Amino acid sequence: MSDPVSIAASGLTAASLRLDAAASNIANSQDTAPLSPQPGDPQPYQPVDVVQQHVAGGGTSATFEPVVPASNAIYDPGSPFADANGQVAAPNTDLAQQLVNTNIASVSYDANVQVIETAQKMQGYLLNIFA
C-alpha cells in the first residue's frame, strides 16, 4: 500500500471515524440512565474512542473501542432514573477532549486531502512530460 493516494485514503477513513465517535459522544454526553438498570430500563450510553494503528506497507487502520468505564455516577436527584441517593449513570465523556478530537479529525482530513490533490497533480505533470 505504498501508493500515496491509498495511504491518504486510509487517513481519511480514520479521520471520519474519529469525527463520528466524537459527534456521538458529544450528542449523548448528557444522557443519563439508572446506575443498575433493570430489564426494560434504558442502558447507559457507551462512549467510544478511536484506536488508530499503522498498517504494514503504509497507511493506517482505525477502529472504535468502548471507553472503560462506560459511565460515572453523578448526583441528579431530579432525574427519573435517580436511585435512593440521587445518583444516576452518566456517560464517561470529557467534552473538552471530544472537541479536541473533532479538531484533530478536521486537520487530519484536510492534510490527507492535500496529499491526494498533490499526488494527482504530480501524476498529471508526469503525463504531460511524456505526452
pLDDT tens sequence for the chain (131 residues): 578 999 999 999 999 999 999 999 999 999 999 999 889 999 999 999 999 999 998 999 999 999 999 999 999 999 999 999 999 999 999 999 999 999 999 999 999 999 999 998 988 887 778 76
**pTM confidence score:** 0.86
Q: What is the pLDDT of residue 2?
A: 76
pLDDT for the residue numbered 130: 72
Cis, peptide link before residue 39, omega less than 30° from 0? no
At 22, list the grid cell: 466524537
Q: What does the DSSP assignment read for 12-51?
A: HHHHHHHHHHHHHHHHTTT--B-SSPPTTSPPPP--EEEE
- Angstrom distance (rounded) from CA 111 to CA 19: 15
Q: Are 79 and 34 in contact (CB under 8 A)?
A: no
Residue ranges of domains in the chain? 4-31+47-70+92-130
Burial class from Cβ neighbours inside 10 Å (0-12, 13-18, 19+) for residue 29 reads middle
List, in order, residues 6 or more apart from 24 with CB less than 8 Å away: 47, 48
104 is written with which cell numbers? 484533530
The reported pLDDT for the residue numbered 13 is: 96
What sign for the dihedral angle of Cα 19, 69, 79, 45? positive
How many whole angstroms separate alpha carbon 58 and alpha carbon 51?
Answer: 17
